[in-house]
Chains A and B, each alone.
Chain A
Amino acid sequence: EPEVTQTPSHQVTQMGQEVILRCVPISNHLYFYWYRQILGQKVEFLVSFYNNEISEKSEIFDDQFSVERPDGSNFTLKIRSTKLEDSAMYFCASSDDVGQGVGGYTFGSGTRLTVV
């Protein structure tokens, strides 16, 4: 079954540093997303991306965040100047044009970001 892959699995960074989280969505999917999950809390939507532009973003996704699809396979989330409260699990997801059913909306295994 096709997978969404994320790297690295764990990233430790110092406060104020820039981080880039990487994702390879499922190849025939058209919509790409980033979510985050603070330890013990629910999964929260950050941003959706379609046709090479942001289609929707949440209040969490402020000017410190950016996304990019630099080539035909990768989808990245950049945090310019990390804060302690950015520590969380970050999930990439992708969906096809229907976005439903098994494999229609798929999550990666996540990158655990720890800001120290």
Chain B
Amino acid sequence: DIQMTQSPSSLSASMGDRVTITCRATQNISAYLNWYQQKPGKAPKLLIYAASSLHSGVPSSFSGSGSGTDFTLTITSLQPEDFATYYCQQSYRTPFTFGPGTKVDIK
């Protein structure tokens, strides 16, 4: 199976901060990488698919980049509604594994 790692596992940030989350795959997955946001007690929501494509309705403050094994999710200016846990997921090969998540909370 393809394993996914994320760093950091958690971070504290202030409103307006720029935040970057890194995701790494154990093998080349090209751009088969998706990002999801999850708030406590809620279902995940799709943010980014195919490494860099912004899902409909997602603010342009979110962006994704990378290819191969290394990927990043960037939030350019953190808003109150962005405090959540973020997961990357590879869809190159089944099982479509998720990263362990990065929790973003308020400093």
Partners in one complex: no
Q: Which chain B residues have a beta carbon within 8 Å of chain A's beta carbons?
A: none
